[in-house]
Amino acid sequence: MSGPATAQPVRHRAPVERQWRRRLLLLATALVAGAALVAAVIYLVGPEDYPGEGQGVVVVRIEPGDSTSAIGDMLLGRGVVASRAAFVEAASEQPDIQRVQPGFYQMRELMSGDAAAGTLLDPDARVGFMDVKGGIQLDDTRAPNGAVTPGVLSQISAATCVGEGSGRRCLGVDALRTTMAKTAPAQLGVPEWARAGFSAAAPNRRLEGLIAPGTYDIDPTGGPVQVLRSVLSDSVPRLESAGLGGEGSYETLIRASLVEREAIAEDMPRVARVISNRLVAGQRLELDSTVNYPLDVQALRTTSQARGTPGPYNSYLNTGLPPTPVSSVSVAATSAALEPAPGPWLFFVRCTTRGGSCFAVTFPEHQANVARARDAGAF
């Protein structure tokens, strides 16, 4: 008799399995060989790359902590380079690429890896950057010699410039000023503690003092509301980390701006005390910085005509604080306004050529300090 019906297939299973194993081995060998061939071609020919300097304008952003590979991926996604590998390879030959700062950069589409890496190292490629100093006003100011210091609005406008040649475009100062005047404080990101002061201020003065010193990265492709809001989103935490944010903070900001404009850092706590003592005594502040503020003048002295001209910022004619800050405010000035030095002084005058002040309790003492300042050529 013949064996069971299942015996015959069992005898042929091993040869079939061996056949499939051989085929899989051949396929795997071919794949490995193919991959090696592709790698060799990439090594010899190089990664996919565009041939030149590119075309058009693309604004890209490098985030804090981005690696070279991450930048390459971002540039690939924005159509700047043909492959991450092309940028990474080019960047590996540029040691300074590690020093590229986070922020916005103007680049082109269809750039070679070399061109993209070189552009990021070009200082002119960075856009959207500004550095606000303490004591700067919203508007441009001029010195007695005619030199002009760009104000915060001009700095913001310059930071938004993008494009080349006749195609270069910036948000204008007038557009920024109109936006400041007509936009609700909440929409701009004005903090709660400053909204009453913002709303009560003259429209062209509303953001004075609310943009803190420091560096800013602004998206230059944004509209005026977006740009001003982004600036305030960076500024407000700086102001609040300096001690502002509670009740009376807007008044403190005004005091701090006066201190900023009137004193060098080491004298700020005593100048803050003079301001406080005069306010408590009901005396006029008689500060030249407030008189010069609406005139957009940066000067140590004022003219008799300016001091005699009525206006809300004339502290020779008015008692009390001006209606708004008169400049951007440093941490040192804010600290001084929050905690003035103890003392009875009611007068001060800049009496050294490096900017130091002399303080007095009585008017005769003050007159002697003024004479000393004149003799020193500081007044």
**pLDDT the model gives residue 297:** 80
**pLDDT the model gives residue 165:** 86
- Mean pLDDT in residue range 111-134: 96
Contact between residue 179 and residue 224 where contact means Cβ atoms under 8 Å apart: yes
- Mean pLDDT in residue range 203-212: 97
Q: Rounded CA gap, 207 and 250, in Å?
A: 12
- Mean pLDDT in residue range 175-197: 97
Please give the distance of CA 376 from its chain centroid, rounded to a whole number. Answer: 39
**pLDDT the model gives residue 6:** 41
**pLDDT the model gives residue 145:** 85
Give the residue carrying structure tokens 């010193």. Answer: 213
- Looking at 2.10.109.10, 1.25.10.10, 3.30.1490.480, 3.30.230.10, the CATH number of the domain 58-126 comes to 3.30.1490.480
Q: Rounded CA gap, 252 and 356, in Å?
A: 23
Amino acid (one-letter) located at 107: M
**pLDDT the model gives residue 25:** 52
The tens digit of pLDDT for each residue in 75-110 reads 999 999 999 999 999 999 998 999 999 999 999 999
- Indicate whether 2 pLDDT > 50: no
Confidence class for position 146, pLDDT limits 50, 70, 90: confident
Q: Rounded CA gap, 352 and 379, in Å?
A: 8
Mean pLDDT, the chain, rounded, equals: 89
Domain borders along the chain are 58-126, 129-241, 249-375
- Indicate whether 166 pLDDT > 70: yes
Q: Which helix (H) or strand (E) holds 368?
A: helix 363-375
The tens digit of pLDDT for each residue in 54-68 reads 999 999 999 999 999
43: left (phi over 0), alpha (psi -120 to 50) or beta: alpha
DSSP 54-105: -EEEEEEEEPTT--HHHHHHHHHHTTSSS-HHHHHHHHTT-GGGGGPPSEEE
- Mean pLDDT in residue range 335-342: 98
Q: Rounded CA gap, 313 and 283, in Å?
A: 15
Strand partners, 58: 107
Beta-carbon contacts of 261 under 8 Å, excluding residues fewer than 6 positions away, are: 135, 287, 289, 326, 327
The tens digit of pLDDT for each residue in 249-288 reads 999 999 999 999 999 999 999 999 999 999 999 999 999 9
- Mean pLDDT in residue range 322-349: 97
The tens digit of pLDDT for each residue in 211-222 reads 999 999 999 999
The tens digit of pLDDT for each residue in 10-47 reads 344 444 454 455 455 555 554 544 545 444 444 455 68
Phi, psi dihedrals of residue 109, rounded to the nearest 5°: -80, 155
**pLDDT the model gives residue 332:** 97
